[in-house]
Amino acid sequence: EWWADEREASTPEFKVIEEAANLLRTSDIPVAFPTETVYGLGADATRSSAVQGIYKAKQRPSDNPLIIHIDSLEMLDRLLNPAPTSPSSTKTPRISIPAIYKPLIDRFWPGPLTIILPNPSGSELAPEVTSKLTTFGARMPSSPLARLLIHATGRPLAAPSANASTKPSPTTAQHVHHDLKGRIDLILDGGASGVGVESTVVDGLCDPPAILRPGGIGIDELRECAGWENVTVAYKDGTLDIKEIPRAPGMKYRHYSPKARVVLFEPCSKEAGVTKHVQKDLNDSAIGAHNIGIVRTRNWRQGLGLAPPDVVASTVKTVDASIDHLTSFPIPVQQTGSPTSRTKLAYDYHLGSDTVSIAHGLFAVLRALDEFDVDVIYVEGINDRDGDLAAAVMNRLRKAAGAEMKV
């Protein structure tokens, strides 16, 4: 058995993990589980019908490959060296993890890094996982609950983020419940995800190696590893040209989008310009009265001219480790437009000034603002060259904003 002793096996936590593992082994309905990046929607990566269940629950196009989650290097080794289909087949040499990945695995696993590997002939992986690619992405999560679940299931788990397709990724069990209730049978609740954005996806099979998706591990950290000094950036922010074949297929879809329109201000935006833009939007009679969300990061402390600065100062909510207790602070917006326009509310959030808390609270705040039915969300961007997570944060925000970027 996978648990350490009798005593542990009788605790409620372990009973729940065993129940989840049972579902993963037998059911075609996926199970949601926490990881350190975002919540995942897991299925046995070797069973086609189970993997199809993920696409059904998420309503996600199936040409988007899934990341394989493993609990150990042994599990990965077994995937790279499937048992021969017929006993008479000639002995094939063992395939090992390409050497280029060794320094990355040593330093970042378990953790928020996904590596691209060749899918071996006779692979056990369901074809739906790789969606016709000759490679697969694998990661070993650092979340103990995630690794326990994989271990208890005894199978590699394919798991995309557990949101409905196009929505911001879930960083709490409540987010998953909101998007997928009625579509799945079990969510393992491990509290809020620490990192808050998805894993970094890297391809070391090409020369020089490339970052396919920015995420929890930054480019500066990658460049410190032997063989990764010249790693290139192979992703594009904003709307991808659909004619171009994206190397990381997931990147072409609308992503991370709340219902509301998102207007992203690049970090060089002049405060005066921002204020003017927001004020113009608010007063635009063609749009009519609407509620707005403001997501501040580093600098916007003066209220953008939306309310007297003293009101804003006393109502700014810092969203850091406490996203579980996210509450709203509606602020009546000063009326400068026509006297007949209805009252507008501004929900004003401050994500904190450091990149770690910005990444941690980002998806939660976009989801919270959707709950308040705001029509537009103004977001203060950060410098995407500002180290580890900043590029990942801006990548997600540019996708959420689509074309609406103000520089």
Binding residues for ATP: 60, 64, 135, 161, 169, 213, 256
Indicate the residue among 114 and 161 with the shorter CB distance to Mg ion. Answer: 161
Instruction: Please pick, from the candidates 27, 46, 114, 143, the single residue that binds ligand TXA as defined by CB under 6 A.
Output: 114
Around Cβ 85, how many Cβ atoms within 10 Å?
A: 9
Site residues for ligand TXA, 117-136, by CB under 6 A, read: 130, 133, 135-136
How far is residue 30's CA from residue 44's CA, in Å, rounded to a whole number? 9
Q: Is 176 in the site for ligand TXA (CB under 6 A)?
A: no
CB 187 within 8 A of CB 66: no
Which of 70, 159, 364, 390 touches ligand TXA by CB under 6 A? Answer: 159
* Nearer to ligand TXA (CB atom), residue 41 or residue 331: 41
- Distance, in Å, from the CA atom of 109 to the CA atom of 85, rounded to the nearest integer, reads 31
Are the beta carbons of 130 and 136 closer than 8 angstroms? yes
Q: Is residue 40 a contact residue for ligand TXA (CB under 6 A)?
A: yes
Task: State the binding string over 130-169 for Mg ion (x if CB under 5 A, else -).
Answer: -------------------------------x--------
Which residue stretch of 83-91, 245-253, 275-283, 328-336 sits at the interface with ligand TXA (rule: CB under 6 A)? Answer: 245-253
Nearest to 294 by CA among 263, 250, 248, 325: 263
Buried b (16+ CB within 10 A) or exposed e, 182-212: eebebbbebebbbbbbbbbbbbbbeeebbbb
Decide: is 391 part of the binding site for ligand TXA (CB under 6 A).
Answer: no
118, β-bridge pairs: 135
Q: Are strands 200-203 and 135-139 parallel, antiparallel or unpaired?
A: unpaired
* Binding-site entries for L-threonine: 37, 69, 139, 159, 199
Q: Which of 103, 120, 249, 267 binds ligand TXA (CB under 6 A)?
A: 249
| Cα angle, residue 251 at apex, residues 29 and 127 outer, rounded to 5° | 45
Query: Of 224, 339, 239, 350, whose CA–CA distance to 299 is shortest?
Result: 350
Give the interface segment with ligand TXA, choosing from 194-202, 259-267, 326-334, 359-367 (CB under 6 A).
Answer: 194-202
Footprint of ligand TXA (CB under 6 A) = 35, 37-38, 40, 64-67, 112, 114, 116, 130, 133, 135-137, 159-161, 198-199, 201, 212-213, 248-251
